[in-house]
Amino acid sequence: MTAPNTPHEPQNGLVTFLPHRLNRQPVVVRGLTADELWICAGLSGVAGLLLGIPLAGVTHSIAMIPTMAVLGITAGIFAGGGFLRRQKRGRPDTWLHRQIQWWLAVRHPSLGAVLGTRALITRKGSWSTRRPARKTMPPQGGS
């Protein structure tokens, strides 16, 4: 007679546990996941592009526009990546996405409604976890 399988041994060749980080996005650069990297690179690229347009007019060189966009992306990934890494420390994996959704729902409700922030609870006020006190009836009894 064989001993029953211990909880750590697979039964019938199946894995009996799920790795903790199975569904998390992998970290790509400077603590950012792929989605966060695209957000950071996109925003800093637009900022560099907007900075490059007037600079191209001052220097009379159209090459300043893509140069500033690339420099903006580089600076944004390194500076923004470090900033976001510090902000995300100790928070859940979906914190950044929920923070952006909350910001859109509170500051720009019409844009947020298009992007699907209606499911968020944005109630102001105090919350209570206690039930209100019940009034007890005196025991009815006869004797």
Question: What digits encode the pLDDT tens for the residues 40-57?
Answer: 899 999 999 999 999 999
Name the 3-class secondary structure at 53: helix
Is the confidence at residue 104, as pLDDT, over 90?
Answer: no
The closest alpha carbon to 117, from 129, 134, 100, 133, belongs to 100
Token pair 């859109």 in the structure block, residue: 104
Q: What is the pTM of this model?
A: 0.58
Of residues 119 and 36, more confidence is placed in 36
How much of the chain, in percent, has pLDDT values that exceed 70? Answer: 71
Residue 7 has pLDDT above 70, yes or no: no
Mean pLDDT over 61-73 rounds to: 93
